[in-house]
Structure 1
């Protein structure tokens, strides 16, 4: 029996190594044509798998050795990455020297560290400290590749881009790339607590093992930094926005310093969340009033202390007067008063304050969608130069679809940064495949009509409000201790896409998905095409089976897992899904026109006019802005009720189509990851049907409408769905 097992194993190995032809493969990208070994996803998009034999000589000719100029830890990291890429993709370790005369070399350096680089007169002047140039040059009859920048971190970014060129099988001969980030602060917000619990996290515990720090620096911290640097992320907020003042104590700051030491060579600065009441909780003061001189002095002393421990500390992220968090409003002060006090404390050290605009309170009876604008827009121009207001992509809370936040374009004298949520709090957690690139592109390319038509959200982000003003983008991280980092293989794409959009807000989600798929899954064009197609339609599928036609916040209470449109008994109106859909016998939707909450008035006049009329409102936002009757005719010719049902059915069918497409990839990608995705898609299909059936059962109960012919009835009655209790769903807090 053992002999049979050995023979079968050898036979399987031979089959795995056998060539495979694919008529759909592109001639310019010959296939390795082997079924890969099992992978667990740890390598992310930095897999550096072997280049197929036919293509290898062309890459090897220009990547035969490494010439380094500079001796910093960042240049060390760049050389190590080049070696890792050469070993993985070309199968060999390269000689490293400082001799420019070598042909077929990758030469890295800055004009300050290399006479040769300086002599090329590359167009570096306008690329800043983080931009880079990659150019092929002829040397001794061979092609060499020069990767140059104004700083070592720019060189490292260039190295990652160069390796991506090989990963995606681009030509090196004639390569001429210059690039630099459009945004200055490109940062991950970790909602990680000091006990390692991650709020809204679906990928295990926090990476930060505080108990072992500073004595033990887990090697995974370096891999985390590598992954971030490869997509241009240059900042990390280590702690939850629902902040704990303990992190500001000396015994914790030395732990933060240890992480900063790991991240520094990769161009990543650390930031912390500042609990506004820290002067009381750990400082012994009786107040945290931002206009009290003693409070301001305490924060200045604390900032000075932090910078003595961590000289390149980035600054503070603050959530204040929202969801019960303390803030300047407790003392009848404005958000500008609070932000400016903290900004003054970090300004001498070059630090910034990121002040979140996500605010709503029990005392405010206004439409929740209006509260951030009402609180912040009147403060335009009153914030310090080193304050940047962090605004969510939509006015509610990271919903599957929202119109862009009305603050974008409405505060022309205040730097605003985008806050996206990479973790999928409202989009099915880790088990639902939902590529967020199309959602982010949709928001970033939205026309604000401020100060004129054609000014997009992306434009407001990457155009400084004045010379030297801060620009940025933040993403709520989806990273944890799961071996695959993000809880699922496909959620890695959202981390990757965030970095690409933060580097360039005008990026295209389809191109990002294609690069990610090639680096993460396969070099087979047919496989890449299938995966990109799955990703491209996945977010819309989630919208269809969760919140179609502009509906929002229909998730069950607290954990936001599964449907709960019937919930209407919670203490605060805006906690209830029924608050958002307002369904009854007469129709469904939230009236945000002048006859309702008038939230539309917060947008520029052309948008308010367009969206104020149901006939000119895009149907995918109809119920966000309007309460409409069930029998309203839609562009399809169906009634609103019929259209709603059609979207629910389309969402479930879309997941089934993804399952079928993924089934076709069996044997084209490694079995371990294929199996995990297959299992997760099965979960998603079951839960999409749960969403569909529960939502239809509820909305039928309030509308009194019959199901049209051909529409399947829910599998169970409404009471069955209401009885489902998911109180132990992950990410719900403690």
Structure 2
């Protein structure tokens, strides 16, 4: 009795200290799975009364993972150990499937569960053997796992459990993250350390970090990971690496995550087995059938291949005068006996076209309906390349007979790497809710991806994410928020950026509204701030080449015109912007009639897309009453002020969170302000050389001339990303 009493006193003191002193040091490793004690004592007591024990019937690795997560989470959140019990008691948490749990089966939930598919779940109050319980029920163990994370999220965000009744199922089938990790552990567009995959110690050593990576993704319902770069090294298909990848698959499997691989299209040649990779050559088809069988021998639940072909120097079927459907379908046939999928990227643009904007559409639209049913066309959200703002890729409303999935970018290639705060949830929401009108109102990008608009067989969403060996996974703590938002929106594309940000802040920092409200507001504005101080009003691709970090709107005379900045902005004395109307490249014709008319008319085009579609006079009157020149200047200056506002708000919040993360974000915001000023001054001074107009006197004048900023761009040191060339080595 005395020992139990002393333990309770110790636990109470520990919890009281944690509640009273929220600013303990944290490094972000736990991401949003921190499971800190619920601060509100009344609510915590209610949770303690409602969740007194965990009862799990069934012992699969996935159910064990779910039960372990619940015990870990509840014990932390409720500030007291929560036991796993074999005996039913009042106010227990009962988890399982009708197949594994007689207790769940006794509730006769089959009709409702049948509507939720293989990954959905129910969370609700129930009565079993005259005892009040809380139930997490699903058709599969993976569904139970997802439901377990949902329940923990409710507690982390302080939602009441009284009369709870939740039914949830994913709207998209394939919710996949793409790593751009190279086999030497360097990450292309990775800004948080080396690759997670320590190839030198695999398969023998399975790091706990791999397990925690799986937990983080499973908490969002992410069910697939492509673990290597789309600029793929052929060696990834060798026995040496397949043994190592199989070990990772073993770690991920209990968490419902399938492994996919990016492949090099010239692999039959790189292995020295053939002198061709022509997809219509029977020898090539046989080679891929045999190699694919080998992959499945190592990884029985392997997901499939991701392919970047005939893009940026990567090999592909066009090298043999074949088209993308020929190439994709050959791989699809090799995967089909095992239920595998081909994700075929639509990121293609050839140097001989007049407008890179048109490239992907013009190449893939004629192939609509010609892809195998286990091929999914993976399309970037915009027609160029993950720019801060783009119109949607016209392929989404054009490929009515082709499976398609979205490709977003979480790693901040064009948003300041791991030094700028730029919550991408706002970009995701803007894209997913874009109305295409292709089948009338309601034909949003989200509904197209879900298969509602075109009734496609396979659906999905992918994100290039690139977490690394930094303790907090993403470098900047707030990049985690974009990872979180992607996962939540991949599960349900109707979830708003606001809701995702609110959940993430509560789980990652604190439930205190005095912290949440101001931070959420500047999070939601941060993407627009990044647009404003980089490329407002539809400008794009003003970055220095190679690093994609700082401004270089003057970039010209490169190997390809569409790698320069001047190709896109086309600034001249008469105005600025790319004419994509009928009198220009006519890229507007790729869109459904309603949007083509809207985008093609200078009077109706949204101003944030203005310079994407029109070459506009510097004196053009904007909605604000300003001229285009003055509006452009205003946007650049407003972007800097938005960053300064973020700084001021963050300074007020030191008492709400731990000192380590507060200091890190404070320092990064200072860097962001410095960079935003450089972006602003570089672009305004450069475009001024064409407009010939002054910067209005009310604005803070640049401290340096244009030549200073050009010199700064040339001397800036940002590590160049590593691009592997197509290998000619013989591999076995």
TM above 0.5: yes
Q: 1:234 aligns with which of 217, 223, 230?
A: 223
* Secondary structure in 1 matching 2:397: coil
Q: 2:235 aligns with which of 246, 251, 257?
A: 246
Q: Contact conserved, 1:67 with 1:108, CA < 8 A, in 2?
A: yes
Partner of 2:440: 452
1:720 is matched with 708
CA contact (8 A) 1:191 1:198 kept: yes
Aligned-pair Cα RMSD in Å = 1.7
1:319–1:325 contact (8 Å) kept in structure 2: yes
Residue in 1 that maps onto 2:526: 538
For residue 553 of structure 1, the aligned residue among 538, 541, 556 is: 541
Question: Paired residues, what number?
Answer: 707
Over residues 579-623 of structure 1, what are the superposed CA-to-partner deviations in whole Å (9 max), with x where a residue is unaligned?
100001110001110111111110011101011011100110001
Residue 88 of structure 1: how far off its partner (Å): 1.2
Report Cα offsets for 1:372-425 as digits up to 9, x if no partner: 000101100000010000000000000000011100121111000000011010
Residue matched to 2:655: 667
Per mean C-alpha deviation after superposition, the further-off stretch among 248-257 and 136-145 is: 136-145
Q: Given the superposition, is the C-alpha separation of residues 465 and 319 from structure 1 closer, same or farther in structure 2, using an over 3 Å criterion?
A: farther
1:408 maps to what in 2? 396
Matched, 1:514 2:518: no
1:426 to 2:436 alignment:
no
CA distance in 2, matches of 1:566, 1:712: 23
Match of 1:328 in 2: 317
Matched position secondary structure for 2:655: coil
1:193 aligns with 2:182: yes
Equivalent of residue 33 in structure 2, options 25, 33, 46: 46
Q: CA deviation at 1:64?
A: 1.0
* TM-score, with structure 1 as normaliser: 0.94
Match of 1:37 in 2: 24
Q: Is the 8 A contact 1:402 1:621 kept in 2?
A: yes
* Structure 1 SS opposite 2:166: strand
What is the SS of the residue equivalent to 1:126? coil
Alignment partners' CA distance in 2, 1:212 and 1:110: 37
State the match for 1:169 in structure 2: 158
2:7 maps to: none
Residue by residue, what CA displacement relative to the aligned partner does 1:312-338 show, whole Å, maximum 9, x if unpaired? 000000000000000000011000000
The equivalent of 1:69 in structure 2 is 57
Moved more, 533-542 or 447-456: 447-456
Matched, 1:380 2:368: yes
CA deviations 1:210-268 (Å, max 9, x no partner) are 11100111110000000000000000001100011000001110000000000000000
1:275 CA displacement:
0.5
SS of 1:408's equivalent in the other structure is: helix
Once the two structures are superposed, the pairs formed by residues 73-152 of structure 1 within 5 Å of their partners are 73-99=61-87, 101-122=88-109, 123-138=112-127, 143-152=132-141
Output the CA distance in 2 between the equivalents of 1:359 and 1:726.
Answer: 31
TM-superposed CA distance for 1:62, in Å, is: 1.3
Verify: 1:309 aligned to 2:298, yes or no: yes
What's the CA shift string for 1:635-684, capped at 9, x where partnerless? 11110000000001100000000001101101111111000000000000
C-alpha contact 1:103 1:140 (8 A) present in aligned 2:
no
**Residue 206 of structure 2 corresponds to which residue in structure 1?**
217
Partners of 2:278 and 2:320 within 8 A in 1: yes
1:272 and 2:261 aligned:
yes
1:415–1:464 CA contact under 8 A, matched in 2: no
In structure 2, stretches of 5+ residues that fail to align are: 1-12, 724-732
**Cα deviations across residues 245-294 of structure 1 (Å, max 9, x unaligned)?**
00000111000000000000000000001100000001420100000000
Q: TM-score, normalised by structure 2?
A: 0.95
Q: State the SS of the aligned residue for 2:273.
A: coil
Using the TM superposition, give the Cα deviation of residue 469 of structure 1 relative to its aligned residue in structure 2, in angstroms: 1.4
Alignment partner for residue 397 of structure 1, among 373, 376, 385? 385
| 1:354 aligned partner | 343
The question of whether the paired residues in 2 share the 8 Å contact of 1:561 and 1:726 is answered with: no
Q: Secondary structure at the match of 1:667?
A: helix
**Offset of residue 57 of structure 1:** 1.0
Aligned-residue offset at 1:33: 4.7
> Hey, what's the Cα distance between the residues in 2 that align with 1:133 and 1:663?
42
User: Which of 443, 453, 459 is equivalent to 1:471?
Assistant: 459
Q: Is the 8 A contact 1:319 1:355 kept in 2?
A: yes
> Per-residue displacement from partner, 1:488-527 (whole Å, max 9, x unpaired)?
1100001101101111112111011000000001110111
Task: Say which is worse superposed, 458-467 or 697-706, in terms of deviation.
Answer: 458-467
